[in-house]
Amino acid sequence: MNYINIGKENSGNIDIYYEDHGTGKPVVLIHGWPLSGDSWEKQVTVLLDAGYRVISYDRRGFGNSSKPTSGYDYDTFAEDLDKLMMKLDLHNAMLVGFSMGGGEVARYLGKYGSKRVERAVFLYSVPPFLLKTPDNPSGVDKSVFDGIMKAIAADRLAFLSKFLSDFYNVDVLAGKRVSDQVVQFSWNVAAGASPKGTLDCVQAWLTDFRKDLTHIGVPTLIIHGDADRILPIDATGRRLHETIKGSRYIEIKDGPHGIIWTHSEEVNRELLAFSGV
């Protein structure tokens, strides 16, 4: 198993788990909350077959990575990504962020620039700014996030069951585009994540990425679906496209949040077309 050390907490190391396969130009896959790099199962093989070097990793607190009690903010997440990029000496990379992972793409490019990055992809992502404020009236009211944090604190495992049902739009897509086993596997991964990290990440969702997005000067692809129950399209995908001038925008009809599984063929087709294959 491959790990990179990114710090320490008291007497223990903080290590990030990653996988690095294939050759060619690198594609870095950054997963969503509360899952792990395993959620990219439907994309990895397709990208490898297309001749890419595919790197996925588990965000701190999730999957096989260490579970520290701090660092669940986007400055730290971007720093973790930068350490991985430097460790693997990646250049001309395509960064692909799903859901919460889109925040890493935005903050990384805003903070570290694009010297190692050739293209950026936002799949159902948190940016530009999720929180409703006077200068961001199309955002989501803070009470929604307070309710999520309260539910996680009260019974994290029960919350995850309801969340993943909405993640995959199970009431509509079960037995068609997603199986009970996939939902159960996602729950198992989410249940194994750091309880504190799971909770703290909700606060990180409220990060304002608008300044970061002004620094994006590489070709950018945005994919979002009109049936996303987790990240409302009007507050995220559509506004992100308006914010990043010249971005390519794909809207998938009836696409739920868990699109990288339920609509993997559509996602993979767009990824390969955007990457130049």
| Residue 225: CATH number of its domain | 3.40.50.1820
Q: Say how many domains are in the chain.
A: 1
Catalytic residue check, 66: no
Of the pLDDT bands very low, low, confident and very high (cuts 50, 70, 90), residue 107 is very high
What average pLDDT does this structure show over 57-80?
A: 98
Of the pLDDT bands very low, low, confident and very high (cuts 50, 70, 90), residue 130 is very high
Q: What is the pLDDT of residue 277?
A: 64
Domain that holds residue 131: 2-275
Pick the catalytic residue: 36, 39, 65, 99?
Answer: 99
Of the pLDDT bands very low, low, confident and very high (cuts 50, 70, 90), residue 161 is very high
Catalytic residue check, 257: yes
Res. 1: pLDDT tops 90: no
Q: What is the pLDDT of residue 248?
A: 98
What average pLDDT does this structure show over 96-112?
A: 98
Pick the catalytic residue: 31, 224, 257, 263?
Answer: 257
Catalytic residue check, 224: no
CA distances from 242 to 42, 114, 158, 249, 254 (A): 29, 21, 37, 9, 21
Res. 45: pLDDT tops 70: yes
Res. 213: pLDDT tops 80: yes
Phi-psi region of 231 (alpha: psi -120 to 50; beta: other; left: phi over 0): beta
Pick the catalytic residue: 58, 228, 241, 263?
Answer: 228
**End-to-end CA, the chain:** 30
Q: Percent of the chain having pLDDT more than 90?
A: 99
CA distances from 20 to 55, 87, 88, 93 (A): 5, 12, 9, 13
CA separation for the pair 130, 62 (Å, rounded): 22
What average pLDDT does this structure show over 188-213?
A: 98
Q: What is the pLDDT of residue 217?
A: 96
